[in-house]
Chains A and B, each alone.
Chain A
Amino acid sequence: MRVLPVLFCLLLGGCGRALPPADFTFINGAEPETLDPHVVTGQPEIRLCEALFEGLTSRDGRGAIIPGIAEKWDVSADGRVYTFHLRAARWSNGDPLTSADFLNSWRRALEPLTASEYAYQYYPIVNAQAYNTGALSDFAEVGVKAPDPQTLRVTLSAPTPYFLDLCACSTLAPIHLGAMKQWGEDWIKPGKLVTDGPYTLGAWRINDRITLVKNPHYWRARDVAFRRIDALSLSSATTAFNLFHSGEAGLILDKSMVPAFFIDALRSKSYFHSQPIYGTYFYRFNVTRKPLKDPRVRLALALAVDRKRLVDRITRAGEPPAGTFVPPGIGGYTPPEGMSYDPARARKLLAAAGFPGGKGFPVLSVLYNSSEQNEQIATEIQDMWRENLGISIELRNQEWKVYLNSLSELDYDIARSSWVADYPDPNTFLDCFMSGRGNNRTGWSSARYDGLIEEACRQPDRAARYALFRQAEEILSQEAPIAPLYNYVAISIYRPDHLGGFFPNAMDEHPLRELFWREPAP
């Protein structure tokens, strides 16, 4: 027993070394899977990548597109050729940043070996998809050229009005290939990562924190207020709140870091902020199974859901009920009227489909991934369908990876789903339900719908393009392979009298370079 105190003292040396204090600490959510901008997909990672890497364009605190490494750009009359003129920017190690860096980085992002999940953000570029899927091996045939060190010319297959938005995404950011070559897999580690954004990587302690240190070579370094930022990786919402209340964190950005049972009590607090974002929670119907093959049945189910009851009773964070898949206002687009709560019409449709009063309707199941809220929503809808249509529904709960497997293999009747915009344009939503798309996962297919989306993608005129999208979305609402339920909200916790430069916006993008403490600093 005498060894125990000795062991105790020895192991105390194992306590982490204290890191220098940060100017600003925030709760970023789960531990980032990587900081490689070409492969990141989650919000916690993207947020940090946008502080480390800057693309041709960037976003300001309100979510608007502004020049990034490209000082300016010209667009050809047909909207297909973008010529970017780069500023005299530098990497964090002092190396000049040229158009060749973009060209080579984009090639790397598109190589199948990189296995970039978001590589489709390059697909508007001529031959990018073919190169990414291995159908084309010569990158010279992809529509990206670097005629001189300060110019990058990009040729698109069709006018893509949201292309400048894509240029601000991490997937299209440049990386320092020299450092990558030098360090191999370790190139994204502190001391090795070379960045072109407002910050460099100071430290990375797994499951603890990522320290961002101001990049002196960043072209707008003078406008960056915080010299050192700590992004905390947490998985407990209660801990996040304790840290916020004890003043050890100035901002909570991840919605999952706000305890759901607290929301009612928090709504009136001055530090609680919620804002609708471009994201939709919806149910998918497996149209390959009876009786969901019949659009009247699907529409009946969709019309028998009281969405307001769902957001008032269950989600309770101010989510707007959704009758359409595309949230209102995305890129200035106004969706069609969509689905509303109409139990009488729902009953008529079900009767017309051969199930008057729900008689003879088989017991279908609703599949959802394990989560308290998903279960509550499914239970509420189960009640609504019983009350309004006289049908019984079973609930089927699966663990995340098993649920994803069931979705992909169409092993479900009705399934809970969600979609959040990658860029502010209706296409990011509507493209999902084109025939054969990997994200369709309903078995639904409509040649008319596909034609309208394809035509919209070729259409340079914004109003005409939106009219085509609207027609397509009307088909989606009539044929109902999905039932939109509500739009998401982003929740952030911060004291606006202390923290400046933070603006709630529908893309839920909050560049760290824009944040500052108001005087006097807390």
Chain B
Amino acid sequence: MTGFLLRRILAAVPVLLAVVTLTFLLMRLAPGSPFSTERSFPPAILRQLEARYQLDGTPGQQYLHYLDHLRHGDLGLSTRYRNRTVNEVLKQTLPVSLTLGAAAFVVALGIGVGLGSFAAVFHNRAADRLAMFAALLGISLPVFVLAPLFILLFGVAWKWVPVAGWGGFRELILPAVCLALPFAAAIARLMRASLLDVLGQDFIRTARAKGMTEERVVLVHALKVAILPVVSYAGPLAANLLTGSLVIEQLFAIPGIGPFFVNSVLNRDLFMVGGIVLLYSVLLIGFNIVVDILYAWLDRRIRLT
């Protein structure tokens, strides 16, 4: 296991370097400067700004400066939020997105696995059709439709939860559910198909022939195998959820990392873009490693090499 982890981490280094280099290149090739504004200012001031952010050298020098900062764990200064480093912005916003993402992840898995298993167990019956209709609805309704509807119903009309904001458990409920539902629907369909497949296999027939109760067959034997496709889906899903959602965070005024994803590109906030892309890559690689470990744990036929 240790050897596997070490190998995967070492393999991640060139991937991350490629990501950093590509992001750096693309951001510099993009037209428009981080310092261009509607009101122009004297060239002397522009030069000082470029010097402050070490953007006054050749592209090669700028790249080396950037790598040197990264080596020390410094993601650079934000060109938009003056006086703030990218590290500082991520340190403040990432825990918020992680909290929201983790809550959404739990809700998505809980609803998805539950609904999918329920549909598979009651295959071709009314309950199955109802569950799959709910899943279809979840997939078809975009979050920017679902969230305002939920806000109007649960926040404005019934006042069960706050309409927006961040602070405690009550503020977390609505955004976590809205963020989770489309993924829960996808998991439910995945889970149903997988469980149906497993329930038709020989080892399940054997278990039933031995006189095992249907609950035990499903919960102990079938579910553990059927959940494998969901686990492989969960890796990228976790990375996706934990790094913030632009729409949900904007609609619910959640101070997470989501809006920075898009706005930093629009603002040409070079180091912020670099930092976020790097963070996202690290999370994606990290979750894929976790998925591999989970795979091996769930299915003993898989060996980590």
Which A residues have a C-beta under 8 Å from some C-beta of B?
1, 4-5, 7-8, 11-12, 14-19, 31, 33-34, 36, 39, 41, 112-120, 132-134, 185-189, 205-208, 232-236, 238-239, 242-243, 245-246, 248, 399-402, 404-405, 408, 418, 437-439, 441
Knowing A112-B45, A245-B156 are in contact, say whether A208-B31 is a contact too (CB < 8 A): no
Taking CB atoms, residues of chain A closer than 8 Å to B252 are 239
The answer for the CA separation of A186 and B46 in the assembled complex, in Å, is 23
The answer for the CA separation of A17 and B96 in the assembled complex, in Å, is 11
Q: What are 6 A-B interface contacts by the 8 Å CB criterion? A: A16-B255, A132-B42, A206-B255, A208-B253, A399-B266, A400-B266
On whether the beta carbons of A34 and B82 are closer than 8 Å, the reply is yes
B237 on interface, CB distance cutoff 8 Å? no
CB distance from B122 to the nearest CB of A (A): 21
The answer for the CA separation of A323 and B217 in the assembled complex, in Å, is 80
* B257-297 to A contact mask, C-beta < 8 Å, 1/0: 00100000011100000000000000000000000000000
Knowing A1-B109, A15-B168, A18-B167 are in contact, say whether A232-B32 is a contact too (CB < 8 A): no
Taking CB atoms, residues of chain B closer than 8 Å to A438 are 39-42
On whether the beta carbons of B99 and A113 are closer than 8 Å, the reply is no
Knowing A14-B95, A246-B156 are in contact, say whether A401-B253 is a contact too (CB < 8 A): no
B44 on interface, CB distance cutoff 8 Å? yes
Q: Report which of A1, A8, A245, A402 forms a contact with B103, defined as CB distance below 8 A.
A: A8
Taking CB atoms, residues of chain A closer than 8 Å to B249 are 207
On whether the beta carbons of A41 and B32 are closer than 8 Å, the reply is no
On whether the beta carbons of B31 and A243 are closer than 8 Å, the reply is no
B1-9, B12-20, B54-62, B158-166 - the one binding chain A: B158-166
On whether the beta carbons of B106 and A5 are closer than 8 Å, the reply is yes
* B157-183 to A contact mask, C-beta < 8 Å, 1/0: 001001111111101100000000000
Most buried by A among B32, B92, B106: B32
Known A185-B85, A246-B159; 5 more pairs at CB < 8 Å: A34-B82, A208-B253, A239-B163, A243-B165, A402-B31
Knowing A115-B52, A206-B89, A243-B163 are in contact, say whether A402-B83 is a contact too (CB < 8 A): no
On whether the beta carbons of B259 and A242 are closer than 8 Å, the reply is no
Please give me the 4 A-B residue pairs with the lowest Cβ-Cβ distance, nearest first.
Answer: A401-B32, A438-B40, A208-B255, A14-B99
On whether the beta carbons of A133 and B44 are closer than 8 Å, the reply is yes
* B77-109 to A contact mask, C-beta < 8 Å, 1/0: 000111111000100110110110011011001
Q: Report which of B84, B113, B148, B268 forms a contact with A401, defined as CB distance below 8 A.
A: B268
On whether the beta carbons of A8 and B253 are closer than 8 Å, the reply is no
Taking CB atoms, residues of chain B closer than 8 Å to A18 are 167-168
On whether the beta carbons of A36 and B39 are closer than 8 Å, the reply is no
CB distance from B31 to the nearest CB of A (A): 5
Taking CB atoms, residues of chain B closer than 8 Å to A242 are 151, 155-156, 163-164
Q: Report which of A11, A133, A408 forms a contact with B40, defined as CB distance below 8 A.
A: A408
B251 on interface, CB distance cutoff 8 Å? yes
The answer for the CA separation of A437 and B40 in the assembled complex, in Å, is 9
On whether the beta carbons of B40 and A439 are closer than 8 Å, the reply is yes
CB distance from A207 to the nearest CB of B (A): 4
Which B residues have a C-beta under 8 Å from some C-beta of A?
31-34, 36-42, 44-49, 52, 80-85, 89, 92-93, 95-96, 98-99, 102-103, 105-106, 109-110, 113, 148, 151, 155-156, 159, 162-169, 171-172, 227, 249-253, 255-256, 259, 266-268
Residue of A nearest to B92 (CB): A206
Taking CB atoms, residues of chain B closer than 8 Å to A188 are 83
Taking CB atoms, residues of chain A closer than 8 Å to B168 are 15, 18
CB distance from A379 to the nearest CB of B (A): 23
On whether the beta carbons of A15 and B155 are closer than 8 Å, the reply is no
Knowing A12-B169, A33-B81, A206-B92 are in contact, say whether A439-B36 is a contact too (CB < 8 A): no
CB distance from A223 to the nearest CB of B (A): 31
The answer for the CA separation of A469 and B166 in the assembled complex, in Å, is 51
Residue of B nearest to A439 (CB): B40
Most buried by A among B89, B99, B159, B172: B99
Taking CB atoms, residues of chain A closer than 8 Å to B159 are 246
The answer for the CA separation of A498 and B147 in the assembled complex, in Å, is 30
Taking CB atoms, residues of chain B closer than 8 Å to A113 are 48, 52
CB distance from B292 to the nearest CB of A (A): 17
Taking CB atoms, residues of chain B closer than 8 Å to A34 are 81-84
Q: Report which of B42, B113, B163, B266 forms a contact with A248, defined as CB distance below 8 A.
A: B163
On whether the beta carbons of B156 and A14 are closer than 8 Å, the reply is no
The answer for the CA separation of A70 and B40 in the assembled complex, in Å, is 31
Residue of A nearest to B80 (CB): A33
On whether the beta carbons of B32 and A404 are closer than 8 Å, the reply is yes
Most buried by A among B37, B45, B98, B167: B45
On whether the beta carbons of B163 and A236 are closer than 8 Å, the reply is no
On whether the beta carbons of A239 and B253 are closer than 8 Å, the reply is yes
Residue of A nearest to B89 (CB): A206
CB distance from A195 to the nearest CB of B (A): 15
Knowing A14-B99, A242-B155 are in contact, say whether A404-B163 is a contact too (CB < 8 A): no
On whether the beta carbons of A117 and B164 are closer than 8 Å, the reply is no
The answer for the CA separation of A5 and B102 in the assembled complex, in Å, is 10
Taking CB atoms, residues of chain B closer than 8 Å to A115 are 41, 45-46, 48-49, 52
CB distance from A429 to the nearest CB of B (A): 12
The answer for the CA separation of A399 and B266 in the assembled complex, in Å, is 8
Taking CB atoms, residues of chain A closer than 8 Å to B80 are 33
On whether the beta carbons of B93 and A405 are closer than 8 Å, the reply is no
Q: Report which of B38, B89, B148, B172 forms a contact with A15, defined as CB distance below 8 A.
A: B172
Taking CB atoms, residues of chain B closer than 8 Å to A208 are 166, 253, 255
The answer for the CA separation of A7 and B102 in the assembled complex, in Å, is 8
On whether the beta carbons of B266 and A133 are closer than 8 Å, the reply is no
On whether the beta carbons of A36 and B41 are closer than 8 Å, the reply is no
Q: Report which of A118, A248, A404 forms a contact with B36, defined as CB distance below 8 A.
A: A404
CB distance from B241 to the nearest CB of A (A): 12
CB distance from B257 to the nearest CB of A (A): 9
Taking CB atoms, residues of chain B closer than 8 Å to A185 are 83, 85
On whether the beta carbons of A119 and B31 are closer than 8 Å, the reply is no
Q: Report which of A117, A234, A246 forms a contact with B37, defined as CB distance below 8 A.
A: A117
Residue of A nearest to B252 (CB): A239
Taking CB atoms, residues of chain A closer than 8 Å to B98 are 11, 14
On whether the beta carbons of B44 and A235 are closer than 8 Å, the reply is no
The answer for the CA separation of A431 and B108 in the assembled complex, in Å, is 58
Q: Report which of A17, A239, A437 forms a contact with B251, defined as CB distance below 8 A.
A: A239
On whether the beta carbons of A243 and B164 are closer than 8 Å, the reply is yes
Residue of B nearest to A14 (CB): B99
Residue of B nearest to A208 (CB): B255
Taking CB atoms, residues of chain B closer than 8 Å to A234 are 253
The answer for the CA separation of A1 and B92 in the assembled complex, in Å, is 29
Taking CB atoms, residues of chain A closer than 8 Å to B99 are 11-12, 14-15
Taking CB atoms, residues of chain A closer than 8 Å to B167 are 15-19
